[in-house]
Structures are given as C-alpha cells and as structure tokens.
C-alpha cells in the first residue's frame, strides 16, 4: 500500500518526454444513485468482482502506470484498503487509498493532493468505467508523452443531440438547437494530463464541471482526443450493468479459446 520506492523511469526517447512516470487517480467516491439502491457504485460486483477492482486492474495492466491512487467514499477508505488486499493486483504497481469528497471534482483534487513527487503524467479514470481496454490507456499516455497537456479518449456520437430549455422532469422541453453531430464527440476516461497542468487547473478553475479536461480548456490550453473504445462506457444505469456483464462474458469466452 506504499508508494515507495519509486519504480525506475520508463525511457521513451521517441517522444517529447523522456523518463516520464505515470500515476492514475481513480475517483470512486460516488454513491451511484442512478444505479438504484445499494452499496456505493464502485463497490458493486461485476462478474463477482467489485467494479473498482476491474477499474484498478484496467489501469495497472498498462505497463506505463506505476502508481494507482484510489479515491474512496469519504467513510469507506478502510473498506477499500481491505478490498485491495483481498484481490490479486500486479506487483509492479503501487497503490494508495485516500478518502474522497462531496463532488467528483473534489475527489479528484484530493487524489492529486496525495500524489508523491516523481510522477509527471497523471491519468484520471472513473471507477465507473471498469472495462476500458489497456490499448486505450496506453494511447492516452502516449499522447501526453508526445507533448499534449491534456488528452481525452473520444467517440463519435450515434444519437442526434438536441439542446433544450430544461423543464420539470416528465414535462415537455422546448428544443432550442441541434448541434452538428459530426462536430461532437462523447468523451471517456482515462483522461491524461501533464501533472503540473492538471494541478494548476484544479487550483484555479472554479465552478462545477463534469470532467477534468474541461478545467484545462478553461485555462486556455488545447485538449486533444485519441480514439475511445465502446467498452470504456460508464456504468450509470441498471442496463449498463447488464451490458458490462455481457462484455465480461464475451472476454472470458474469447480468452477460453
């Protein structure tokens, strides 16, 4: 459970950075009310294993990631530590657990505050995206190593999107605009950052946001995309759990041959 000693730096002479070290912060402090009653979302089981453990393994599977900081529910840090001890995780990765906050933003900030020195790239990955493939994680890290201050995995949209004038739940909402779908992307996590940039964003940007990259945008910096993956979807509603179980079953089936 200790972050020491630091692993050797990963040389990457072909990129804009050499000797970079990458840590992943996993905000896992949400209640997950849209999933229905029960344990905090990150602790609910998928294929018999807590969603959080899947998310941690997804980060630790990347050879680039040498530290994972888990941001636990505010009153659940001890439970999460016990959970980590009870599941097999790669030896080459270090783990830290810190208590989270009221909002996702606050939870990520608490995770960043706990990062030891020596890590210059930070991934922020939702515990609620347990099945992101390692190739997506690696593509994000590679783009940050290449010099981008902020990188998001993104997918084109299948649905047309309407901007509305919000009304009470169940009431008709007037449509005010239809943005050109070809210009829109749905973004996922892990989002990758130059550490100093992300720390500055969290120190200076105020107001509510739904992802970390938008805070970097508000600093006036350019955020770039890499291809996202359909299996990196966020488990939010009960049907997402069904889909996640199906993806796991397909992986197990494919691994069996």
Chain positions contacting ligand C5P, by CB under 6 A: 27-30, 41-42, 71, 100-104, 107, 126-128, 234, 236
Task: Output the smallest distance, CB 96 to ligand C5P, in A.
Answer: 15
Whichever of 30 and 50 has its CB closer to ligand C5P, that residue is 30
Whichever of 102 and 171 has its CB closer to ligand C5P, that residue is 102
Whichever of 120 and 215 has its CB closer to ligand C5P, that residue is 215
Both tokens of residue 84? 């980590």
Task: Output the smallest distance, CB 42 to ligand C5P, in A.
Answer: 5
Q: How far is CA 135 from the centre of its chain?
A: 14
Whichever of 62 and 189 has its CB closer to ligand C5P, that residue is 189
Task: Output the smallest distance, CB 244 to ligand C5P, in A.
Answer: 14
Nearest by Cα to 196 from 178, 174, 221 = 221
Nearest by Cα to 185 from 151, 225, 128, 234 = 225
Strands 224-227 and 150-156, bridge-based pairing: parallel
Task: Output the smallest distance, CB 103 to ligand C5P, in A.
Answer: 5
Cα dihedral sign, 149-154-159-160:
positive
Whichever of 7 and 74 has its CB closer to ligand C5P, that residue is 74
Nearest by Cα to 56 from 19, 20, 83, 78 = 83
Q: Judging by beta carbons within 10 Å of its beta carbon (0-12, 13-18, 19+), is residue 102 exposed, middle or buried? A: exposed
Residue whose token pair is 């029960």 = 38
Angstrom distance (rounded) from CA 120 to CA 131: 25
Task: Output the smallest distance, CB 182 to ligand C5P, in A.
Answer: 26
The answer to whether 225 touches 156, Cβ cutoff 8 Å, is: no
Task: Output the smallest distance, CB 54 to ligand C5P, in A.
Answer: 12
Whichever of 102 and 255 has its CB closer to ligand C5P, that residue is 102
């Amino acid at each position: 459970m200790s972050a020491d000693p630091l692993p050797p730096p990963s040389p990457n002479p072909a990129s804009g950075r050499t000797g970079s070290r990458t840590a992943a912060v996993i905000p896992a402090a949400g209640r997950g009310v849209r999933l229905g009653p029960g344990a905090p979302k990150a602790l609910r089981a998928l294929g018999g294993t807590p969603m959080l453990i899947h998310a941690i393994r997804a980060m630790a599977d990347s050879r680039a990631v040498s530290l994972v900081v888990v941001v636990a529910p505010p009153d659940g840090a001890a439970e999460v530590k016990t959970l980590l001890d009870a599941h097999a995780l790669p030896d080459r990765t270090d783990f830290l657990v810190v208590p989270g906050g009221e909002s996702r933003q606050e939870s990520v900030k608490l995770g960043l505050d706990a990062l030891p020195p020596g890590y210059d790239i930070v991934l922020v990955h939702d515990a609620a995206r347990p099945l992101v493939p390692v190739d997506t994680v690696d593509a994000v890290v590679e783009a940050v190593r290449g010099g981008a201050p902020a990188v998001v995995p993104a997918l084109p949209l299948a649905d047309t999107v309407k901007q509305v004038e919000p009304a009470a739940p169940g009431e008709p909402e007037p449509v005010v605009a239809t943005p050109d779908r070809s210009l829109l992307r749905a973004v996922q996590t892990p989002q990758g950052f130059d550490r100093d940039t992300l720390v500055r964003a969290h120190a200076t940007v105020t107001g509510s946001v739904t992802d970390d990259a938008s805070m970097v945008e508000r600093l006036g910096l350019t955020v770039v995309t890499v291809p996202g993956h359909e299996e990196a979807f966020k488990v939010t509603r009960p049907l997402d759990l069904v889909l996640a179980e199906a993806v796991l079953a397909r992986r197990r089936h494919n691994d069996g041959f």
